[in-house]
Structure 1
Amino acid sequence: MNEQTGLNQSADSNAQTFAEVLRETTRFLWKSRWRILAYGFLFASIAFYMTTRMDRLYKSSVQLMIERPATSPIEIGKSGLVLPDTGYVDGQILLIESDDTLSRVITKLDLLDEPGFQSQQPGLFTQSVRWVKSTLSATPQTNTPLPANVPDKKTLSALKILREAVFVSREGDTNVVSIDVRTVSPRLAHTIADTLAGVYTEIRLEQRQSQARELSGWIDARAGELRAQVTQAEAAVTQFRIDNNLIGEFDGPTLGDQRLVELNAELIRSRAELAQKMASFELAKGVLAGNTDASSIPEVQTSVIYTALREQQLEQQRRAQEATLLSSSDNPRVNQILRRLAAIEDQMTGEIARITEVLANETETLQSRIRLLQAEVAKASQQSEVETRSQAELRDLERIAEAYRQRHERYLNNAGIATELSTFASSGTQIISAATWPLLPFYPPTKVLVILSFLLGAAIAVVQSLLRDILRPRFTSIAQVERDLGMKVLSVLPTLEEGQKAQNVINEEPFSLFTDATSVLRQNLWSKSVARRSGETPVVLITSACETEGKTSIAAALATSASSSGQKVLLVDTDLRYAGLSEIYKLDDQEGLCEILQGQSWTPVKADDSSILDIVPAGKLNGRQPSDLLSGPQLRNFIATARAHYDLVVLDSPPVAHLADTAILADRSTDIALVLQLNSTSVEAVRSTIQRLPRRRIAGAIVNAVSPSDKAGIWSNAGVYAATYKQSAKLYQLHNTGDDLQTPDRREKS
């Protein structure tokens, strides 16, 4: 049970690991999508431009069926055709690609005059390499003339170009061969493919005719040799008949064989009869000795005398029995019957003795006869063996002569066929698919090259992004943020849909994941605030290490969430350079913090109502340096006044980067929250930011823009609260006192 539980846990762990890897990969690809697309389209454009500059190649194909060759099987007694093996077809491919075949094509088509087959002047680089090689070589290079049997350089150059343009291949395990010709002209490709197939057919025809002539001559010579062998074999048969007096036909058995068979049969019959007589003789001797019943002897049973005596014996025994029953035992009639019975038994014993003597004589006679038959069988066997040996030798000689005769006849028949082949022979090659006329170029494959180039560019972009992440490490998980920065994550905020604004989501979707996560942020900040524990109003500074981390939206969401909970909140746009918060609330052209820092008075409007959100826009710099305005005493007075009238003051500051603005604002704040994003914010940038801020005032980090499906989102368990249950949010109006900028525009609650 424990083992099964362990296996289940291991499987769950592996599944979670795979899901995590898949999420990280998807996040990485989505983050690098623009670089991947840019590199992919760049490489695809380069590939498309290069393909437009390449020569277009056209391919013409022709398919040949190579006939199975005859292999001269007469010598080994075989005939007909055999299937071509791989070696044979490969040899034909080499024949098609040979220089002799290609040279015929060049001569037939006069390709030396074609522009594509003329030798080109070597380029500058090739000439430079040749000059360096000739300079470094110990022996100067001279233009030696070519041998007489070698084509000139112009033909050799055309032959090299044609060899590179021709591709010959076999179709699977069949004897079908495909010839592909690739040139810059569709007409030339079709003409070369068609001519090459015709030249190969001519070469094959010449070879078959030459082979037929050679075969015919060889068969004629061989037939003469066989004729002499037949004559010699027949003469040997005739001489053997004369020497052994074997005149006539010997299809059946010899006289010696017949006599031997008859003697063996007679010997077998005699031995069987002897065995029977000896068995009867032994039984007869047993009867005379009184050990055996006479009825068990076949000769006794067939004896007429013994049978009559036996009947008389039975009759006298019956009479003696009847007389004994009618009178006493000493009756004279009874005694007379008993004497007659004894006489009959003596006669029966004499008959058995006579039969025994006869059996003894017959046994001796049969034994003598068997001895004579055995002698005759031995004599007949010797005679039969001599006759059989002679006949076997004669038959061997006759078979040899017949074999020579049949082979001679077969060679005579094949000689006629060979003579016909010498006058008519097919090429053994059939064109099953004529040369095609190419309509479109097959090279360069523009689509394939563009797609591969796009994939190559995308791969390079992925590698570059990976190297950048490796060389510039970024945060990838909540645990890494807390481990590397040594601070707690206050909240993890989900990514908003396109077009959504943080402050509107808080008001309009109180049960959304983003609203819940903002409430968690507010509660964590409230619980960690040192100023709140001492009874003072917290001044929370929302900042980040770099731009585009979403700090302004988080500041607006935090202020809106706090006001919705019943607090009086002041939201101040302290980013005097860009005024992102003022842009969100459309207060770009109104006076605000810049004017307050320049000495303009500001007094919050007194109101007894809770759930108030007041906003102080950035105002107008009018050429002043933001750090100079923030470092003056007016900022301290402004914050002190705000803390006296509000429950919470939220400052939206510029990114720390290399500016002094955030450092000045951090000295006037009680709590600082750093905004960062996973897989985007650099670890070194955040560490540098922490070193520029007072560490004791940093409450923690805020992880922004995490996908709701990401495991890092701590709101995943809150998904049961569907955002479809939207409640009517409280709408707050900003109020403004007028030109003196005593308070921002306050809107009454609707």
Structure 2
Amino acid sequence: MKEEIRKEFSLHDYFHVIEKRLVTVISTIVIVVGLVALFNWRQIPTYVTSGKVMVERARSVIQSLNVMQSLLLSLNNYIEIIKSRKFLGKVVDKINETEPGIVTLEDLQDKISVSPVPGTDLLEIKGLGSDPKVLKMTVDTVIDFFVRDSEEVQGDVARGNLEYLKNQLDNLEEQLRTSERDLREFQQREKVYSLPKEMEQFHQDLIRWQSEKTQLDMELELTEKAIESLTSELKTYAGMTGLGGDKGSNSMESELSALEREYATASKLYKGKHPKLIEVRQKISAIKKSFQAIASGNYLAIGGTNDPIFNELKTQLLQKKIDIFNMRVKRNSLEELIKDKSSSLENVPEKNLVYVRLSRKLSVTEKIYSSLLQKFNEAQIQASSMTSKARVVDYSREPKEPIMPNKKLNLFIAFVASIITGIGFAFLKEHLDKSIKTSEEAKIIFERPVLGLVPQFRSSELKESRKVIEKSKIFISPSLLTYSELNTMSSESFRTMRTNILYANDENQVKTLLLTNAQAAAGKSTVVANIAISFAQIDKRVLVVDADLRKPIMHKLFNLDNSMGLTNALLGADIEGLISRTSIKNLDIMTSGPLPPNPSELLASSRMVEVIEICKANYDLVIFDSPPVIAVTDAAVIASKVDGVLYLVSLRRVARKQAEKGMELLENVNANVFGVVCNFVKERELGGYYYRYGYI
């Protein structure tokens, strides 16, 4: 017997596997789709809706260093306000006025989201929820409260800015009074009311430089705030995580400060287009261009969008960075000038030195106070003219369909996935199935011709057979389809098998025949009975001997008495009196008789050979039915005594190793196994013969 069976699979074979395992595929589809349908039914639907508001942001924050403008709210500020517990708490209170407990603060924090619409001044307020009406009411309430509170928020900011400026003015006013008092007491005590003429210009220079430095410090602080605001704006638009530093800027600032001082000194010595002045100016210009190139690389390369607002913010950020660089350079130069001039005061009399310091402090404080007072007045004007900074663009709509679960999509995906999974299971089962699946495979494994292909009986065939039997008023099993002589596929399969056995008989001279198999419950006795009837129908005198002395069934198929039979013959009884005549012409039956305690020993006895020879002499064909060859030794014993053996293989029901073992046991007793019969054959494997001739 061959150890391996290799077959090239065609597309038709793959479809055959699916057809064969169709129950598996359909079961998988039903289970998966059913589970998904149950999930859809039990899942709470989730709806989504959104509305939009326009925020009229003050863009002067990136165009001016005004304190009031630098502190105005950006989109990020508005987003954080809407998400705050204080704001959402007011929304919850408002909604719960109509129906207490309908929403909670925790629900709102989880289900309300706010995001900017790229390239616009719009905010989208989106909500998730299981109740469409409550969801719409919630989102609309958030929009209404935001629009209503935006003016209040701006007013709070304006009032906070005014309060900040007022505190600064109060502090400066106190410093101014202190400076005036200190200078006045010093003048009265020391009788010093002015400086010598040679020091007056020096004193004025110090005051001017100190005032400029103080003003630069204020501008630097505001510019840094403006850069922070611009960075926040860029994050809002592009999700920017950070900005790179300006490597080398500190050394550039120091170098540029030194060049500025050098240029100031040289300008006192040289005039016009003196080569020294031109050289220093060129160096200053080169350093500024280098810094601008570094800043451009760090800031203009941010993001990858064509949004005009985003690009404007990048440009403004670059400009502010260049401005802050220039201001730091100028402040460093002023610090050096003040330091140099202050060092020359060491030889000045102590009284004059104190006067210079007190007078300079007073003058600087006066200038700062005057500048801050102007900004305070500007802030008052802006606060008085401030109006609402938000307006409704679009209220939310009550959602009609949930976004989760998407029942149709879920079922469609489940259906497709279940088909794929079911087919996968089908091929997996086919791969794990170690049974003999086709008659061709059986022919190759056992190296013997397949003499018969018996399909599984159809219910319609059994029904028709029962009608014919009842009409004939005989009592046999409807599974004996050949008796009815109907033109059915199953009946024709036995006729074809008969023809094949007859041709095989010409070569083997088989008059005594055993039909056995490897496993129980394979329909062997039914096949034996139908073969016998088919031979009887061509005027062959046929005897069926039920040699299954353990679980006989032949007497049930033909509705015969089983009180006497083969067991009695083996014990010495007259054979003639043990044979039962049937209502089918040319067909006799010897039932098993009583079940003996030692069937194997009886079948192996010399009396069994005598029984076989007597039957052989009186009939054209004697067919023996026996137990499965693997279960007990009965079949092997009989096989060694008869002319030929047919080996029954139940396709897709008997494992290959089991069937091979049964054949091996028959070969071990030198049985003449001249052919294989396959039952439970699929109709498609029977080929087109029966289809063409109208048997089905």
Rg: which structure is higher? 1
